[in-house]
Structures are given as structure tokens and as C-alpha cells.
Amino acid sequence: MKLIAKSAEMQSISESHRLAGKKIAVVPTMGYLHEGHISLIKKAKELADVVITTLFVNPTQFAPNEDFEKYPRSPERDYNLAQENGSDYLFNPATEEMYPGGFHSAINMTGITDKFEGEKRHNHFNGVATVVAKLFNITKPHIAVFGQKDYQQTLAIYQLVRDFLFDLKVVVAPTIRENDGLAMSSRNVYLSSAEREKAGVIYKSLSDALLVIEKGENRRKIINAVLHNTLRSVHEIKIDYASAADADTLEEPDVFLPGEHVILVIAVYLGKTRLIDNALITIPNDPHIKKHYFV
């Protein structure tokens, strides 16, 4: 695997692979790789001839009061994991390479990004969209692989690709979980051992809500109440949001109709650590038929 730090070099390499008829897949990450990231690299390897993993902690998607400075970083470890799991290139630029002096442009996203994460983390998705667009232009992929744990982000990426006519396919891979159901995340390292023991309540709240939907519940307020009640069983949990919404639009109707796809989205603080998770379900025509899957 080759380490690349300069955008011009990465563009040249990608262009040469394209001219040779090779299919390129990119896996954008902020590093501190875990099994979730590794699953994305492996998926990319299945789909393409050349896999580029990007490693860049993007400052423009962090608010001033967020964890940019302390976000976990381990470049050497990341290099080894990317190499061991099939990546052909690791693009690891400096901040000055991605945002050189005189850089004053940014993408402004609206619509799918207006609520949930967008409401709680102002300007977050503008930063995500800007850096992802730059990474697409640098790596020139045919396929971009993202994880479903950041569900609203995947919807934003789909919108970005549509709106700016990027000639690539977005692939979203399932969330990888710990044994107790906690979604793998680089920020999990922030949790104390006591907090880690209690973090499984997030998965339990999703499971409880899915169960009532499977039994025939389709009223949003009741589904939300199940999410909230389970989360509140751990007094250290502070709920940022926990809600059922239309899986495509994130609209929140009073009642979901049979056959509609619903996303359960959660963001909580456990101590000082902010964690997100989600699950998808199709409202059944027959309440005895289970039609859900965690993502």
C-alpha cells in the first residue's frame, strides 16, 4: 500500500488507473480505524480493482466547542490496518493541503440536513459536504463506500452526488456492532469502563422500539416514547434526540402507513461522550411479520 499526502499526486495516480480501465473505490474516514471502517474497506475491495482509503480529520465539520483537538488519532496504526485489509492507497493529507491559504469556498446544504444532526451541530453537514466533494475530486472514484451508522450523513451524501452530478455510485454498508450491540465508533474510546457497561442501553432502546412496531404500533409519539423510556432507564444518559422518521425524507408524520420505511435515530450523551445510532424498519402489513434490520 502506498501512502499519499499530496492531492495532485493522488489525482495523477487515480487518473492513470482510470485510463487503464481500472475501477476505483474510495473509503473516506477520519482515521482511528476500527472494525466498522475495516468492513468498509473490505466491501470496497469486493466492488473495485483499486481501493483508496482516505484519512483526514476534517476541521470544518467540528463546531468550536466540539472534540476536534482531542479526536483520537493513530496514523501508523491506521496505515497498518488499511494495508492489512486490502487498501491500495492511503490518502492522508495535511490540513494545509485540503484547506490552503486563500481557501474561501464551501458547500451549503439544506433540506435533508436541517434537522437532527444538522439542528444540533450547526454547519456540520456543510463541512462534511465540502470535504467529501474535495475528496471525490482528488480520488476520482467510481464507487464511494460509507457506513450506515451515520445515517443522516449518508442521505446528505446521496443529495450531494445528485445535486453536483458526481459520476459515481454511493454504497452504504451496515453498521458493525460490539457484542452488546453498541455501534462501533472511534469516539467509543472516550467512554470510561463504567460508562461502557451502560452503553448497551442505546441498542436496547432501538430493539424495544422495533418490537412494538412489529406488534403493530405505527404512531410516532408512542414509538418515540418507547425509545425515550428505555434510554432514561440509565440516569447517566442525556438524550439529544430519539425519534422515528421517514427513512427517505426524515419527515415525522403522526402515523406511519403500512409499507413505509422508517428510520429510528438516536443521539445521546453518556457522560461527556456523544454517541449516535439508528435502525431501519418497514411498517408491516401484517404485524406478525418481522421486517426490520439494524444498520
Is residue 292 annotated as part of the catalytic site, yes or no?
no
In this prediction, residue 288 has a pLDDT band, given cuts at 50, 70 and 90, of low
Alpha-carbon distance of 167 to 140, in angstroms, equals 9
Give the fold, CATH level 3, of 186-289. Pantoate--beta-alanine Ligase; Chain: A,domain 2 (3.30.1300)
Q: Do domains 2-173 and 186-289 have the same CATH topology?
A: no
Q: Over the stretch 101-110, which tens digit does the pLDDT of each residue have? A: 999 999 999 9
Cell numbers given for 160: 450531494
Residue 294, pLDDT > 80, answer: no
Catalytic residue among 17, 37, 124, 142: 37
Q: What fold characterizes domain 2-173?
A: Rossmann fold (3.40.50)
Residues 6+ apart with CB under 8 A from 157: 129, 132, 144, 146, 170
- pLDDT mean over 6-14: 98
Tell me the CA distances in angstroms from 24 to 40, 79, 162, 168, 200, one per residue in order: 14, 19, 19, 10, 37
pLDDT of residue 163: 98
Q: How confident is the model at residue 285 (pLDDT cuts 50, 70, 90)?
A: confident
Residues in the chain: 295
Averaged pLDDT for residues 174-188: 97
SS3 of residue 43 by DSSP: helix
Domain residue spans in the chain? 2-173, 186-289
